[in-house]
A and B are shown apart, each in its own frame.
Chain A
């Protein structure tokens, strides 16, 4: 890995147990961790039907529709928000 200077794989470190290594990760492995969490909540099978969604301490949301949860940056893009780059 050093030969090509690619960055560290956070997910592999995590397999040891409950993300304990997260506290010791470098900035680059933090990026990998962000990518992992992005996929955990932004990828995967979407189940349709009546679904209860739990987000932090927000009360249950009960849906009878197809559910799509997306990371915040995807929502920003979908509604055309940008991050501080204005003419």
Chain B
């Protein structure tokens, strides 16, 4: 069975076919429910399939609190899914309550110093190391600053890995998007060459776990 999301026990799976072409079903216990789909074959881990999975989870999250399950997670059979549900229902239920009404938005920020960092590859030895250290320091400072600013709007902020610049995930009500956009816009306008990309809102993929930072 392909697992989609954890939802409250009273929630209903939408009347949709899943990525394997079968109707979605809801496995319940008293604390939580798992939305899943019987799959005769292994679901293809392609971009269209991942986007279809996302759309289903997004639709679920608009009608009820939902914890998306990492894609593609397939358990061997219904019994395995029910055992997992039984084992994790208490903590899932708690997190569902905590995330009620909240969504995730992700933003990336870059600035001119980062462009200069690309030239560091032309440097040698200690000059290269000093340049890299300066970039790392500036990135850390910018991440801290943006995190602080984002917290004016976001209930929680988690750092995500980025190959360039800073990438942060914001947990906030969907309706807070204009406020976050404004906060990021202010940061962007304070210096030439700054860029920010905002994506979302979508289900809280990076916040399903209370303890574990998703930044990973």
By DSSP majority rule, is chain A's interface helix, strand, loop, or mixed? loop
Q: Is the CB of A7 within 8 A of B214?
A: no
B199's partner among A32, A54, A69, A70 (CB-CB below 8 A) is A32
Chain A interfacial residues counted at CB < 8 A: 53
The 0/1 profile, CB within 8 Å of B marked 1, for residues 1-42 of chain A is 101111101110011011100100000100111011111111
A80 within 8 A of B: no
Residues A47 and B73 in contact, CB atoms below 8 Å apart: yes
Asked if B68 and A43 make an inter-chain contact with CB atoms under 8 angstroms apart, the answer reads: yes
Check: B84 CB closer than 8 A to any chain A CB. Answer: yes
- Give complex CA distance A8, B62 in Å: 21
Given the complex, which residues of A lie within 8 Å of B123, measured CB to CB? 87
Once the chains bind, are B51 and A19 in contact (CB under 8 Å)? Answer: yes
Residues of chain B lying within 8 A (CB to CB) of residue A53: 72-74
Taking a contact as CB atoms under 8 Å apart, the answer to whether B185 and A44 are in contact is no
B71 in contact with A6 (CB, 8 Å): no
Contact check: which of A7, A38, A50, A60 meets B196 at CB < 8 Å?
A: A7
Across-interface contacts of B189 in A (CB, < 8 A): 4
A4 surroundings in chain B (CB, below 8 A): 181-182, 184-186, 188-189
Which residues on the B side are within 8 Å of A11 (C-beta)? 54, 58, 199-202
Assess whether B108 is in contact with A35, with CB atoms less than 8 Å apart.
yes
- Are B197 and A44 in contact, CB atoms less than 8 angstroms apart? no
Number of A-B contacts (CB under 8 A): 179
Residues of B within 8 A of A (CB-CB), count: 68
* Interface membership of B69, Cβ < 8 A: yes
A80 to B167 alpha-carbon distance, docked (Å): 19
The contact string, 1 if C-beta is below 8 Å from chain A, for chain B 175-216, is 000000110111011000000111111100110110000101
Which residues of chain B are near A37, meaning CB under 8 Å? 47, 50-51
Pick out which of these stretches binds chain A: B22-30, B75-83, B136-144, B145-153: B75-83
Closest A residue to B106 by CB, please name it.
A35
Cα A19 to Cα B52 in complex, Å, equals 7
- Chain A residue at minimal CB-CB distance from B161: A74
A10 to B72 CA separation, bound complex (whole angstroms): 21
Asked if B173 CB lies within 8 Å of chain A CBs, one says no
CB nearest neighbor in B for A76: B163
**A/B interface sample: 17 pairs, CB < 8 A:** A7-B198, A9-B200, A15-B55, A19-B52, A33-B199, A36-B54, A39-B106, A42-B70, A42-B205, A44-B205, A44-B208, A49-B80, A54-B45, A56-B45, A73-B161, A83-B163, A87-B123
Please list the 9 inter-chain residue pairs (A to B) with the smallest Cβ-Cβ separation, ordered nearest first: A4-B185, A43-B205, A32-B199, A44-B70, A19-B51, A39-B205, A54-B42, A7-B197, A87-B128
